[in-house]
Structure 1
């Protein structure tokens, strides 16, 4: 029954565009997540003067769902940034604004009053500044919502990943809504990648796998996943690592994703890798070391892609319904998380200077920089209008298709 929802390669692009529009019409928060290009367009059009922070690797798309538990190759799990598609060497103020907008959208989705949104921006900047301070190594207490997702991550095993991603634990990737057939040429290129030394080095990093273990491609499909990435190359590849006659082989699920040009503006004088995939891997190593060590850059269909093995412990943070207290605790915690990722790239003198710059322009009415608060307010207004226009255009398009 599920196979009838699988789309052949010749119809792939048309269907992906429709799915992306549908996803973005589901909620204002989904619209924010899928609109990083418009985010930077709106930010630039506003003409707002932002502090020029130190030139470091930034996430570039620093919203709530792009953070969560991430496992390293030794099985250690920590909350880190988990999506680096937009990473560049740029202005850290952009990460603060993007996260501020995401938190504000979550507050609106939880029907929290506007004063809570203002308080969340205060907590965001307080947590971030703490990470830059001499005592920044001290961790901010994890809110209950974060502790729940972390506890869940620590309990997960391969079967949970397989049942969640593949709908089954059998060694294949079922055709259906999420997984579509690939062309013979795509199959050939994915087979070659699976047999490469680079892939071997990637999948045998886990402590319990042998470096010389045989690797076999069991299945590969086009993966209908994400929102901003819909319409670009995305593959799920299932590998076995190890011989059946020496014990049951490991199964590993590989995510291969097209590396797009970053929408986030980069520092002109700072050298970055020319390849978008190399840029993403490099940024991940600086901002999310658990994830960065599990990634590699490659090419499929002549396009730059980055590759990572998905681990059962990798989860995203979803904020459904928040109380005022939860919202402020999460804002402080995530602000500190991003602050630590930024501070790890700075020496003591640079941290002190950036901290001094952040403490400027504090209005009497709110203990957050005026540039941050005003940017968040204006961008929320722009996103609300853009979201409604998107929904109207999507509804009209659907009506025309039904006529």
Structure 2
């Protein structure tokens, strides 16, 4: 169990106090949690069986989708790592704890960072997944992020030294950005964000080379193509003059094609209609454009890797006419994998937990982001959060990632995580704890290497569980969205 000083999700955030006192708290934290101690990793004697943890997660998910989740995790050690947030949460609970709390992403691996459109239609780079968000020790996010680069580097065949450089780059980017945030005027730190143009400027300042900038430019251009219009053309067709979501089973299944009886389908549709009506009260604007759209169709969609099996709906809405569509995603929110090891969320609704955590951590969030609890045909209340299905979203292609691009990306992710933590936690205390040298960077790199080795061991156990029939897979799984 983590021992935290400072704010938690079970009580309102308190005033941080005078700046000199905050710095002293950070330096004092080194006494109980030396920075070199973050290098340590070895499995505890009573470490939970990683396969059993995955089986426990499956008990609350749609049974026929769980084999797809397993198949996606089977693709590579990195794909397994993406789906193994619950396993790593158990492991992080036994590591050195600085006692300094922030709003954690909870699943801060490199594929959960990327570009998207802000409400002002700027293209920004930020964290983009918050299903596991909860207040906790800031270093947990740093460790999961750094280890993800080591795991991905192994997948790409990078040498041990190059992988160590990647994880050190994550930690150094985090440390140096936190130092800048701590020295900035308060509102400068709060408004700080990374726009696409700033990414290119940073690449040029680093003298990273023309090919690197071109790779980033291509990725950025592709993400700008991932807007609602393109999503609409891929997912929606016309049937008898009416807009309908196209069936792509088992990954996209319209409600009309799902197995339940007609009564159950009507109950599910009405539940989503109620969700759309009632979730408006959780949006930031009162006069919101969602009021101008009407419900047209809905379909179940398989998303991600770790999220596979949770209930996720694509909801098709229409504005003025068929040429004015909107696609929303209503995604089920369950308890965070961190809640076994940290104080429980102050929010009874896990959709609210996700949305409020996202609004704290992101520099700018989707205007359609909100939450609500609905009751389905089985009379079970489930929490959901809603957002646009896609809006200029894009992230790095791990399977094709070159080392030169990975170094740039590691720096961007480390700095971005620091910006998010600087808003919710005591950036002055964290900066004082980190110090100006690279002791913390080296410790995190050592941890990342050791934990990547553990991930390989767990992945081998996962493969054996699949081979033995303990875990079922579905060959219909495809590249995660």
Q: Does 1:343 align with 2:427?
A: no
The separation in 2 between residues aligned to 1:216 and 1:111, in whole angstroms, is 50
User: Which aligned pairs between 1:198-217 and structure 2 lie closer than 5 A?
Assistant: 198=280, 209=289, 213=292, 215-217=293-295
Do the aligned partners of residues 230 and 401 (structure 1) sit closer, same or farther apart at CA in structure 2, a change above 3 Å counting?
A: closer
1:8 aligned residue: none
Shift of 1:172: 1.7
Matching residue within 123, 140, 147 for 1:101: 147
User: Which aligned pairs between 1:41-190 and structure 2 lie closer than 5 A?
Assistant: 41-44=90-93, 47-53=94-100, 55-134=101-180, 141-142=202-203, 144=213, 145-164=215-234, 166=235, 171-177=243-249, 178-180=251-253, 181=255, 182=258, 183-190=265-272
Do the aligned partners of residues 203 and 26 (structure 1) sit closer, same or farther apart at CA in structure 2, a change above 3 Å counting?
A: farther
Do the aligned partners of residues 114 and 35 (structure 1) sit closer, same or farther apart at CA in structure 2, a change above 3 Å counting?
A: same
- Does the CA contact (< 8 Å) of 1:236 and 1:253 recur in 2? yes
| Structure 2 length-normalised TM | 0.69
- Does the CA contact (< 8 Å) of 1:66 and 1:83 recur in 2? yes
Shift of 1:15: 2.1
Q: Does 1:305 align with 2:384?
A: yes
Deviation track 1:174-221 (CA, whole Å, cap 9, x = no partner) reads: 122222235322112112223447189689978xx5x763x2211111
1:357 aligned residue: 433
Q: Does 1:296 align with 2:370?
A: yes
Deviation track 1:226-264 (CA, whole Å, cap 9, x = no partner) reads: 22222221111111123x3xxx65211111111111112
Shift of 1:24: 0.8
Do the aligned partners of residues 148 and 51 (structure 1) sit closer, same or farther apart at CA in structure 2, a change above 3 Å counting?
A: farther
Do the aligned partners of residues 270 and 292 (structure 1) sit closer, same or farther apart at CA in structure 2, a change above 3 Å counting?
A: farther
Structure 1: give runs of 5+ residues left out of the alignment: 1-11
- Does the CA contact (< 8 Å) of 1:89 and 1:267 recur in 2? no
1:219 aligned residue: 297
The separation in 1 between residues aligned to 2:164 and 2:473, in whole angstroms, is 43
1:238 aligned residue: 316
2:275 aligned residue: 193
Structure 2: give runs of 5+ residues left out of the alignment: 1-60, 185-191, 204-211, 259-264, 475-481
User: Which aligned pairs between 1:309-388 and structure 2 lie closer than 5 A?
Assistant: 309-346=388-425, 350-359=426-435, 368-370=441-443, 372-388=444-460
| Structure 1 length-normalised TM | 0.82
Do the aligned partners of residues 293 and 267 (structure 1) sit closer, same or farther apart at CA in structure 2, a change above 3 Å counting?
A: farther
Task: Give the secondary-structure state (helix, strand or coil) at the position aligned to 1:274.
Answer: coil
2:48 aligned residue: none
- Does the CA contact (< 8 Å) of 2:465 and 2:471 recur in 1? no
The separation in 1 between residues aligned to 2:365 and 2:122, in whole angstroms, is 11
Q: Does 1:280 align with 2:327?
A: no
